[in-house]
Structure 1
Amino acid sequence: MPRAAVLTAAIYLVLYGAVWALCLLGWRAAQRYKKPPRLIMPEGVLGVTIIRPLCGLDTNLYNALESTMKLDYPKFEILFTVQDEEDESVPVVKMLMQKYPDVKTRLIIDPRNVGVNPKINNLLGAFEQAQYDLLWVVDATISFVPGILRQSVEAFIGQRDVEAAHIAPQRGDVGLVHHVPFAVAHQRTWGSLVEQAFLNTTHAKMYLAINTLAIDSCVMGKSNLYSRTNIAALSTPSQTLRNLSEPPSGLAAFAPFLAEDNMIALALWHQLGLRHAMTSDVALDFLGSLSIWDYVQRRARWIRVRKRMTPFLVVALEPFTESILSGLCAAWAMNNLFHWSASLVFVCHMSAWIIVDVAVCRALERNVTSTGVSLAAWVLREALALPIWIYGICGNTIVWRGRRYRVLSSGEAKIA
């Protein structure tokens, strides 16, 4: 066997071992996702402003927003934000405000536009009008169990004094609390079932593993809790905005980026030295009717954004963290190095992979309504992983909420 082939096989087995280490770390991290204990919070707890940016009638909108009204926490307000008073979500918000008159809520309508990111534009008014410094930004499709806010504030404060927790953060303190998304296929189409299989297995496994290692920021913006004071202290990572005579800071500084959640989390980590924390809760993400093409476009969209914001080597290695390609490479390497049956190695690999994925899903659904994962959808998800990566890596334009954008080499986006 040529030396080059032997070296290639050996290098791949090292990579293969690292991939499996991540898989098992994610599985181990998922085991702590049992029903959290009820915390007895003192009367002097930090107040929290919950912000729910809305645009149109998202799937299961009423129930998702109603879960905010039922939170088990002594001191919070809810701000529903839209950019257009004719937005279809407004009647839903008004129904909830009428049903729960004792819950402190406000509807904010603010049409300002400071950049290409519609979510940043929608959050501006709420950030300015929030009563409390501690902000919890939650996407419209997300629902949760009542005790999640208690757990999140506890994770944010840690060992710090309550009064100083958001005023004078020290390097190494927690600056952001987030939650792993757990998908519920509210409408069981093939696209939504494949998306559910992705989020509840591969994505959850790797998300938990990377955040357990905590080498760098890895945050998805569906449910994020942080301090407004800390956000205001951030400078813009935008090359374009930094060239201005007065570069914006705070929330508006992230308006040129579509992945504002990732950019804000990175800035908290690197600019302020604040780490991130997770709780033993999930953010229930209700999925609407998706076709397979919708799923492909959704995954390709974030590959195209990520390749502009992440070192290319990291993005290039992503396909080798997927089950089929990693299994095929491992089978080839073990056959060449040890003369093991390639077919047997691949079958054992895929069997172990699905066992770990199912275990992760079952662990995460312990404290929510069980949804499971369709085996056929899981197989289709795995088969589509490499073609979607190739499709995503070959383009720079994306479509988000009906609008086309071009992602620049700086990571910023322009309307195409």
Structure 2
Amino acid sequence: MEWPLMTYIHGILVGWYCFMFLLSLYGQYIGQTRYNSKQRSKPKSSQLSAVEAEGVSILRPLKGIDLELEHNLRSSFTQNYPLFEIIFSVASADDPVIPIVKRLMKEYEKTVDSRLIIGERHVGINPKINNMMTAYQTAKYDIVWILDSNVHVERDTLGRSVDQLQLPGTGLVHHLPIATKPGNYAAEIEHLFLDTNHAKMYLAINGVGIASCVVGKSNLYRRSDLDRATQGVGLEAFGKYMAEDNLIGEALWRLGLKHRMSADRACQVLGPISLQGYCARRARWVRLRKYIVTAATLVEPMTESIVCGLMGAAGCRYFFHVSMPWFFFFHWSWWFTNDYPHNDKEDALHHHRRLPWFKFLRAWVSREVLALPLYLYAIAGTKISWRDQDYRCISDGSAVALFSPPNK
């Protein structure tokens, strides 16, 4: 006997809900076990001599003064690893970041090999790649660690990452991006987004390991592997794209090289931000991803608590005659309970206390309610803003700059 179409549809709804339920639990499990300080092993690579260890070139592209910039940059100098260099790159000679970099280089000149490159090489629309090109091409070592200026890392991060990169079949090592020290209500929403739903999904997808899923705040890979993936072009091949991190990860993945995550986080201090700024950032990344990872972007609303809960409620009402309001109430309560442990401990890495439960609840509800309207707004448009410049995304995943007419 054939099932009617509605039975199939509601069966898919229930199946998707169960899948998301298990995926959320899996992400939560990874988050609670991998990043427990008592579980993290000491890196083997850090115990080698400078002769035995693989050298690493740390590339830090800079523009302007990010919040707690000196602390972020200092975390590169203090890495517990026997052989590395740091290359800072800045596009403009009058950038206010230059005195800070020079002061740190002077402070560590006897212990850390570091240099500053001023001036960019224009190879495409992506300002980050233009800024890094000379640093990338003149790096001493095959392993490069591209580390954004607005994040800091623990001193054993490099050693643990090299350990992971040396495992057979590995082409890229990346770290969990998290937000710390929110300075106001809008920043608390951003904090909750990165540290709960985004963290769970990021960990779960990478844990399953069926596709490339990379955020570019902190990535290590070998230049020789990227050369193979781009027929010798290297980093320059990604200059016309704004989401170079995703595309680099995919290029290495297509070589058959897997991605791994070490037990480390890339931590960004938020401070105060505007609600408009939060919304603009969320819209920017949806608009970038919709041309690069289209399928994943299209199903994104169904991974959020409201749409996913409504799907489960509709399916369970059809099969089990469960009240939709009651199902959704228990679903949302469970989703909140699953997210809260990410906020449940003080973080020894950045010494930031967890949010009080009422602030967590306020920010969590705001984040969940805003998710679908922001997604729909982002899908409908193509304009993004990045470092005070506007761009228009186009269908091949690249972008073009939008220049405002001069003031009369």
| Normalised TM-score (structure 2) | 0.91
Identity of aligned residues (%): 40
Distance 2:11 2:280 in 1: 35
Cα distance per residue 1:66-85 (max 9 Å; x no partner): 11111111111111111111
Cα pair 2:153 2:265 within 8 Å, conserved = yes
1:124 aligns with 2:133: yes
Distance 2:53 2:67 in 1: 33
Q: Give the 5 Å matches for 1:61-80.
A: 61-80=69-88
Aligned to 2:406: none
Aligned to 2:65: 57
| TM-superposed deviation, 1:4 | 4.4
Aligned to 1:45: 53
Distance 2:219 2:100 in 1: 23
Q: Give the 5 Å matches for 1:12-411.
A: 12-30=13-31, 31-35=33-37, 36-40=40-44, 41-43=47-49, 44-102=52-110, 103-158=112-167, 173-185=169-181, 187-235=182-230, 249-270=233-254, 272-311=255-294, 313-362=295-344, 365=347, 368-373=350-355, 374-411=360-397
Q: CA-atom RMSD, angstroms? A: 1.8
| TM-superposed deviation, 1:365 | 4.0
| TM-superposed deviation, 1:129 | 1.6
| TM-superposed deviation, 1:367 | 5.1
Distance 1:274 1:361 in 2: 33
Cα pair 1:181 1:285 within 8 Å, conserved = yes
**SS in structure 1 of the partner of residue 373 of structure 2:** helix
Cα pair 1:54 1:89 within 8 Å, conserved = yes
Distance 1:235 1:131 in 2: 20
Cα pair 1:194 1:380 within 8 Å, conserved = yes
Q: In 2 relative to 1, CA 51–378 (structure 1 residues): closer, same or farther, beyond 3 Å?
A: same
Cα distance per residue 1:1-40 (max 9 Å; x no partner): x954443222101111111121111111112211223234
Q: Where does structure 1 lack aligned partners over 5 or more consecutive residues? A: 160-172, 237-247
Q: In 2 relative to 1, CA 310–363 (structure 1 residues): closer, same or farther, beyond 3 Å?
A: farther
Distance 2:313 2:354 in 1: 30
| TM-superposed deviation, 1:341 | 2.2
| TM-superposed deviation, 1:415 | 1.0
**SS in structure 1 of the partner of residue 173 of structure 2:** strand
Cα distance per residue 1:285-344 (max 9 Å; x no partner): 122431111111100111111111123x43222111101121122223222321112222
Q: In 2 relative to 1, CA 203–29 (structure 1 residues): closer, same or farther, beyond 3 Å?
A: same
**SS in structure 2 of the partner of residue 29 of structure 1:** helix
**SS in structure 2 of the partner of residue 390 of structure 1:** helix
Aligned to 2:405: none
Cα pair 1:324 1:382 within 8 Å, conserved = yes
**SS in structure 1 of the partner of residue 180 of structure 2:** strand
Distance 1:95 1:288 in 2: 24
Which of structure 1's runs of 4+ aligned residues deviate more than 6 A? none
Letter in 2 for 1:359: P
**SS in structure 1 of the partner of residue 212 of structure 2:** coil
Distance 2:302 2:95 in 1: 43
| Normalised TM-score (structure 1) | 0.89
Q: Which has the higher contact order (CA 8 A, sep 6+)?
A: 1
Letter in 1 for 2:248: I
Cα distance per residue 1:172-226 (max 9 Å; x no partner): x1111000111113x5122221111000000000000000111110000000011
Cα pair 1:34 1:367 within 8 Å, conserved = no
Aligned residues: 388
Distance 1:137 1:208 in 2: 20
Q: In 2 relative to 1, CA 288–113 (structure 1 residues): closer, same or farther, beyond 3 Å?
A: farther
